[in-house]
Amino acid sequence: MIRRLRIKFICITMAIVTVMLTVLLVGQYNAAQSSLTRLSVTALEQAAREPPDGRRPGFGKPGAEYPCFLVLLDSQGSVWAVGNEYYDLSDEQLLLEIYRAAAEQGEQTGVLRDYQLRYYRADRADWMFYAFTDISSEMETLRDLVRSSILSGALGFFTFLILSIFLANWAIRPVEQAWEQQRQFVADASHELKTPLTVILTNAELLREKSENDEQRKSSDSIVAMSRQMRDLVESMLQLARADSGQTTAEREAIDWSALLEQTLLPFEPLYFEAGLTLESRIRPDITLTGNTVQLRRVAEILLDNALKYAAPGGTVRVALESRGRECCLSVASPGVTLTARQCRDIFKRFYRVDPARRRNGSYGLGLAIAERVVSDHRGRIWAEGRDGINTFYVNLPVN
């Protein structure tokens, strides 16, 4: 949990930093682009306002401060062009193509990217011409800005990533200490309770054997039943506490998961029969995986016991094991009140009960939490789905 909390903190921090850096760099790019465009358009407007010098119809020679040239198409289709030494205006066919490309856009100012030119249309009383300027240097400046922005953005991102990791460790430390204290308390309390519970259970069983009448035997049975429930609860809490502290890493080996499930089903068949339920199984043979036999058998027992307790009377519980590429899927489907999507998520929380008012049946809401932890330790996934009066629990595990 602490690890997930730390990762969540880092992800949220980096998401905020990413958005801020993106907005900053995009704003910087847009500002630079607007500034360059404004300078270029201003130069074109100034060139278009130059008075004619009489050497070309309707033209004045543009100034040399900004490289631009003017193009006019007369009524006879002849191209007139004038500019400074920056441009070679000898190719009339190219000038005509540029003129027509600008005229097709129909805007007063715009960009001809195929020619890397920006144009400005100058309208006069009886004629019209276009002023053009080269934007290759402008585009190169913007490309340099993009490259430098990406470099500075990446540098800033990784800098903030390192800072966020340190901040996450610093911010999560009090939570981690509190969680560790709580885990240690649960582990110590569970461990200390095991001995007195064992003594109580042993004495209660001896008392039941020596009971002289039905009333004493009934009281002894009640003590034994409650003691066993308390023992199971303490053992479950101790198992979860060990899992939280990383002490559940057990020896793993290649396991015939199919055969293990078949063995686990056998003792449940009479229990289902006594409860008026039907247990059906469809297990694909020879599915092997790497894991701990005791822990995986515990997962299967938890799912079967859960179905036994909460299946609708007279219903059929179906157990299936299938192979799906590099994974295998175990499913346990039982009829009953359909679980909602939220209940399917919350049911794996510790001590969670779908109906808090439900009669006590020896379940404390820890079984599925234990199963989830075991499956997670085996690099698998467990989840529940409720649909049309059928609640199904799925366990995906990687196969060999």
For the record, the structure tokens of 87 come out as 């441009």
Select from 232, 176, 136, 224 the least CA-distant residue to 4: 176
398: confidence class by pLDDT, cuts 50, 70, 90: very high
Q: 2 or 139: which carries more pLDDT confidence?
A: 139
CB 220 within 8 A of CB 207: yes
187: confidence class by pLDDT, cuts 50, 70, 90: low
- DSSP structural state of residue 292: -
Ramachandran class of 336: left when φ > 0, alpha when ψ lies in -120 to 50, beta otherwise: left
Identity of the amino acid at 286: D
SS3 19: helix
> Which tens digit of pLDDT belongs to each residue from 349-397?
877 766 655 545 555 677 888 888 889 888 999 999 999 899 999 999 9
For the record, the structure tokens of 389 come out as 């009066």
Identity of the amino acid at 348: F
Amino acid 374: pLDDT: 87
SS3 299: helix
Give the Cα separation of 52 and 336 in Å (integer): 93
277: confidence class by pLDDT, cuts 50, 70, 90: very high
Q: Where are the domains of the chain?
A: 2-140, 253-398
Give the Cα separation of 1 and 149 in Å (integer): 37
Give me the half-sphere count of Cα atoms (radius 13 Å) on the Cβ side of residue 101: 18
Q: 209 or 184: which carries more pLDDT confidence?
A: 209
From the centroid of its chain, how far is CA 394?
A: 21
For 253-398, give the CATH class.
alpha beta
Backbone angles phi, psi at 129, to 5 degrees: -145, 170
SS3 379: coil
> Which tens digit of pLDDT belongs to each residue from 56-111?
444 444 444 457 888 887 666 677 777 766 777 778 888 888 888 888 888 888 88
Average pLDDT along the chain: 81
Instruction: List Cβ neighbours of 393 (8 Å cut-off, separation of 6 or more).
Output: 303, 306, 307, 331, 332, 333, 382, 383, 384
How many other CB atoms are found less than 10 A from the CB of residue 168? 19
- pLDDT over 70 percentage in the chain: 81
Amino acid 200: pLDDT: 78
Amino acid 264: pLDDT: 92
Highest mean pLDDT among 199-203, 226-230, 388-392: 388-392
Residue 109 bridge partners (DSSP): 120
Above 60 in pLDDT, residue 55?
no
Amino acid 354: pLDDT: 66
CB 164 within 8 A of CB 16: no
Above 50 in pLDDT, residue 185?
yes
Cα dihedral across residues 218, 223, 224, 230: positive or negative: positive
How far the first Cα of the chain sits from its last, in Å, is: 28
Q: 175 or 167: which carries more pLDDT confidence?
A: 167
How many other CB atoms are found less than 10 A from the CB of residue 370? 21
54: confidence class by pLDDT, cuts 50, 70, 90: very low
239: confidence class by pLDDT, cuts 50, 70, 90: low
**Which residue in the block uniquely carries the two structure tokens 């682009």?**
33
* 387 class by beta-carbon count within 10 Å (0-12 exposed, 13-18 middle, 19+ buried): exposed
Q: What is the mean pLDDT of residues 257-285?
A: 92
Q: 277 or 245: which carries more pLDDT confidence?
A: 277
Residue 130 bridge partners (DSSP): 71, 121
Q: What is the mean pLDDT of residues 35-40?
A: 88
Give the Cα separation of 200 and 190 in Å (integer): 15
Select from 320, 318, 355 the least CA-distant residue to 339: 355
Above 50 in pLDDT, residue 344?
yes
How many other CB atoms are found less than 10 A from the CB of residue 330? 24
Strands 327-335 and 316-324: antiparallel
The 3-state secondary structure of 140-207 reads: HHHHHHHHHHHHHHHHHHHHHHHHHHHHHHHHHHHHHHHHHHHHHHHHHHHHHHHHHHHHHHHHHHHH
- DSSP structural state of residue 51: P
From the centroid of its chain, how far is CA 360?
A: 38
281: confidence class by pLDDT, cuts 50, 70, 90: very high
Above 80 in pLDDT, residue 197?
no
322: confidence class by pLDDT, cuts 50, 70, 90: very high
